[in-house]
Amino acid sequence: MKNTYKLLYIVMMAVIFTSCKNDPIMFDSSKTFVAFTSSTASVVENENALDIQVMVASLPGSPAVSVNYEVRTEGIANPAVEGTDFTIVSPGAVDFPDGSGMANITIHPIDNDLFTGNKSFELVLTSNSKNYPTGAENVITVILKDNEHPLAKWIGTYNVAAVSYYSPGAYDEAWSVTTEADPDDVNKLIITGVGAPGSGPIKATINLEEMSITLAPGQILGDVYGSGNIVVYKGTDAGDDVIKEDPLIGVIENDGTIKIDLWGELITDGQYAGYLWDVFNTTWTKQ
């Protein structure tokens, strides 16, 4: 019986392999299109340049094509102004002499000494010399990030050393955490990556007079360890429980360093709901 099943399996696999081998994936001229390679892009205003990729997907040997685009700011709350906030190399069109492939629209942000918040604009593919259809990504939003933000020293990527209260050394963790400006509140940071990449987001309030950072209790990181949703609270001094009513408060330093002790993580659902994951003493070092 086992040999019969084995033989049938070999025959089926041979049929599948032969079928796949005889049906190659074909590309013809009717599938040609023009598109951006992403829907969003960003650059800090004091950086040199940002390249926006435009793609023409067509057959090799296709005729040269010129792709036209325009800048739009309609409906954007804090629009960037061309010539004031940025410039574009070869504005209005990008050429593909080989008729296909990738080409760049190069954006140069203009730095200033004022805090105006992040500004945005759109690039929109409008037409091309061969009347190719546009793909799904025919609009890209470009964000110019303001480097004069009052919290700029604490915005960026951090290596976080999280020392375990439960078992220092054995259960310590290392996180790569990103902080961003909250577009709705100039005094807040948006934090992702605690525990595992993509966790959160959670928010923290910065007090520049007291040089402190405060997190409201009960913010959700997500299922970062595979044991259920992790929620952040202030831990107890003994490191064996959390205090659900109190905010979690740490300190910030002028070099961008952040230190938050008693970082408590509680599992709130699943098989281990109600269990304490750990309490950490964390030191955040900016990259």
Give the three-class secondary structure for 52: strand
- Closest by CA to 281, choosing from 232, 222, 235, 240, is 235
Question: Is residue 194 assigned to a domain?
Answer: yes
Question: Residue 22 falls within a domain, yes or no?
Answer: no
Q: Which of 137, 131, 120, 122 has the alpha carbon at shortest distance from 68?
A: 131
In a domain, 21, yes or no: no
Q: How far apart are CA 251 and CA 212, in angstroms?
A: 4
Peptide bond into 201 cis (omega under 30): yes
- Tokens in use for 153? 């020293």
Of 100, 122, 145, the position where a domain reaches its end is 145
Residue 113 has a pLDDT of: 87
Do 76 and 37 lie in one domain? The reply is yes
Task: Please give the chain's pLDDT, 287 residues, in tens.
Answer: 333 333 334 434 444 444 444 444 445 666 899 999 999 999 999 899 999 999 999 988 899 999 999 999 999 999 999 999 999 998 999 999 999 999 999 999 999 888 888 999 999 999 999 999 999 999 999 999 988 899 999 999 999 999 999 999 999 999 999 999 998 899 999 999 999 999 999 999 999 999 999 999 999 999 999 999 999 999 999 999 999 999 999 999 999 999 999 999 999 999 999 999 999 999 999 99
The 3-state secondary structure of 240-254 reads CCEECCCCEEEEECC
Number of domains in the chain: 2
- CATH of residue 158's domain is 2.40.128
Q: Which of 145, 177, 201 is the last residue of a domain?
A: 145
The whole-model pTM stands at 0.64
196, amino acid identity: A
Q: Which two tokens stand for residue 10?
A: 């070999």
CB 221 within 8 A of CB 265: yes
**74: helix, coil or strand?**
coil
Residue 250 pairs with which residues in a beta bridge?
A: 213
Query: Which residue range forms the structural domain that includes residue 86?
Result: 29-145
Q: Is residue 11 part of a domain?
A: no
| Rounded Cα distance, 92 and 97, in Å | 16
Q: Give me the sign of the Cα torsion angle 243, 247, 253, 256.
A: positive
Residue ending a domain, choose from 145, 167, 189: 145
Residues 135 and 163 in one domain: no
Reference 42, options 33, 51, 54, 32; nearest CA is 51
